[in-house]
Copies of this chain bind each other. A is one copy, B any other.
Amino acid sequence: MKTEFEFIETIRRRYSLSKIGDDCAVLPKDNQTDLVITTDLLVEDVDFRFKWATPEFLGHKSLAVSLSDVAAMGAKPVWAMLSIGIPASVWKTDFLEKFYEGWFALAKKFNVELVGGDVSKMPDKIVIDSIVAGEVTKGKAVLRSGSKAGDLIFVTGELGGASAGLKMLENGERYEKSDYKNLLLRQLQPNPQTVIGQIIGAGNLATAMIDLSDGLSSDLAHLCRGSNVGAKIYADKIPFDKQLNSITKSFAEKLDYVLNGGEDFELLFTANPKKKIQIENELKNSRFSCIGKITATGKLVEIISDDKIEVLESKGFRHF
């Protein structure tokens, strides 16, 4: 069966859609500024479960996933819209009020204004479409398509926590009574890298960037496809979330969470090696790691662990 990525590529070609295929569309705003915009659909029992996601967490996460896309363009988020479909049984509760509390708490942090939306009835599940727009200096949006052979590959933060948190939730762990609250929060209340994204954009630090939403193996492959390059990463340089130790001691299992788990909402970017010192300076207050380099081996992604080189298959999240 075709994946959603293959389908989107088919539509892109058939209808000559030049603005499709990055974390956000980039549109001209005025002489100095481009507008970037993204839309993300979140579906109950596919992207979240009521059993463990409170309405406040869900409000936060709905905005966070789109802020992450805006960050991946190096842009500053500015305004947002929300379309919400909700069953009548949920409408009668205080779900939506609490959802908006979670949403606005995060929006306030980054000064994002809600400018529109829609509310509709759903037969039985909740569905949320989150739309966020940002601004970036004209021509400076960081695309997926600028990586060159020889560029270094960086990631922000620590990886694997969000999918390990999901595993715990699936196994019955609940936030209220948990000893692993911080790990669960990686899944329930992710932090978009809004500030770092803007530093990277403003400083022209990156040749390409993408957010880690599907999992490192898939997102790195998306970036390589966008730039028509390959990549080589080193397993021992990947910054594992230390909290992964609470769920497994096995290196192979931890690596699987990091590569194929998704939803960490950190940033993956590539940079010319000459920019290394500037990156170290400008991101000196943030955690980031150099995990490998871009190669000329067209779209082939390899991982090196214990001196063995293996092809890294994209096993991150996909709907179809």
Contact = CB atoms under 8 A, between A and B. Distances in A.
Nearest to A79: B27
Interface string A83-122: 1110010011000100010001000000001111111111
Given A19-B113, A19-B116, A113-B19, A39 B129 contact: yes
A16 to B, nearest CB: 10
Nearest to A45: B123
In the complex, the count of this chain's copies comes to 2
Contact of A129 (B15, B83, B91, B96): B83
Interface residues of A, number: 57
A129 B41 contact: yes
Contact of A43 (B24, B29, B121): B121
B46 A121 contact: yes
B100 A17 contact: no
Interface string A33-62: 001011111111111000000000000000
Contact of A131 (B81, B84, B119, B120): B81
Given A7-B96, A115-B25, A119-B4, A127 B85 contact: yes
